[in-house]
Chains A and B, each alone.
Chain A
Amino acid sequence: MRDVENLPEIPPELQGTVKLTTFDQLFAWARKRSLWPMLFGLACCAFEMIAAAASRYDIARFGMEIMRPSPRQADLLIVSGTVTKKMAPQVVRLYNQMPEPKYVIAMGACAISGGPFKEGYAVVSGVDKLIPVDVYIPGCPPRPEALIHAFLALHARFEHERIRDLKAYQKGVDDGIPIPSLGPDLVDWRRFEPLMEEAEPVKEAIHG
């Protein structure tokens, strides 16, 4: 793959008819115009997301009006609303089922850090404790224009991604993020994996 600066000169008689580009740029151009979000509205921010998809702040102009409820057909997971501990396994399960390349936007104060309900006993303080997030939008709820601004920020990220670095094209098997379970409190198995080799019950290291 050649970089953009090192592309050869186009002779003057062909200037209007030929364009040279790299695969990365072509890929980014195509992806920017057809990113399909998943209809994953949890709480109040879902209504600003729906308003963004409605006629006033039309996201069909960006090719994103197809909001698929099925994760197998979506590229972008917009976590709009509070993620509670009871819902956490489903969020991770849906994220695992999305095909690569996939992106996550955390919309609203609740998805960033738990928001006004952070001190509650049933709220996960930020969805980035469960899944990796690409763009954060503060606000409660953020305006639909702020959501579109976040989409543009995400598109700007595509410019810098190279195909060879994409996770989907790497070798090996990806099992996804282990799905949390609901014990006496939410159990995130990534915390316990190093300890699972030991057969003894967990003692004072983890009680609060």
Chain B
Amino acid sequence: MYGFGVLKTLGIAFYHFVLTYVDDVKMGFGKRYTPEHLPERQGVNGRGIYTVRYPKEKLPLPERSRNHPFLVYIEETGKLKCTACGICAQACPVQCIWIERGKDPETGKPASFPAAFHIDQGLCIGCGMCAEFCPFDAIKMDMEYENSSYTRPGFVGIEELKKPESYHAKIHPTDYAREMEEKRLKEERKRKAAAAKAAKAKAAAAKKAAAAKKEQGEEPKG
């Protein structure tokens, strides 16, 4: 009959309306809106009100989330990990990274640290190519998204961009673990190579000493 289709549609809408409050009634009013229940409410099996009440509730961002880049510095020495190789400036699709290579204060030759490092915040699209191609893990993507401003965003330099390595470890735990693993493997390989070299040198020295002793032993006879 004409009109049943519309009733069916209204029925589905009513079903959604009822679904909104079913869990409230089951769990007791108010218990669904606690921070502990937020992942359940936002998960695959959540039904009912799906809203995240920003700014009171903030969704935790996954690890690979990217917004704008930042430079990593080592806290003990205060130096940046960046060696001013320039690969990030070449890989950036919008060319928003400007690097000036530093000079060695005594010799005046180019050195591996950046004298100036600027990023145009109004231009960066947050693609992550700089972090992907950096061979020294010196530039990483931050996930801060609350950076609206009253003035036009412009160039930022090293002072605004640098953040400590502990911050990087906090927001990217698996990436940091991978970096530590690679560092450990590299050190292990170096240590093994040094040990092998030392053992080889020792063997050569022992052989030489044995040969010299043999000669000495033969001489008085001859």
Contacts and interface: CB of A to CB of B under 8 A. Distances in A.
Complex contact flag A–B (Cβ < 8 Å):
yes
Interface of A: 55-58, 61, 109, 112-116, 118, 126, 128, 133-140, 142-143, 145-146, 148-150, 152-153, 157
12 contacts: A112-B122, A114-B123, A115-B123, A126-B152, A133-B152, A136-B148, A138-B147, A138-B153, A140-B127, A146-B145, A149-B148, A157-B150
Nearest to A148: B54
B67 A118 contact: no
Contacts of B93: 116
B148 A145 contact: no
B124 A138 contact: yes
B178 interface: no
Interface stretch (B45-53, B69-77, B109-117): B45-53
B55 A135 contact: no
Contacts of A134: 150
Most buried by A among B124, B127, B151: B124
Given A113-B120, A150-B148, A157-B150, 4 more contacts: A56-B52, A109-B122, A136-B153, A138-B148
Given A116-B94, A146-B145, A149-B148, A138 B121 contact: yes
A23 B145 CA distance: 35
A169 B90 CA distance: 52
Contact of A139 (B49, B54, B145): B145
Contacts of B49: 55
B125 A115 contact: yes
Nearest to A110: B125
Nearest to A52: B54
B148 A128 contact: no
B146 A58 contact: no
Contact of A137 (B52, B125, B148): B148
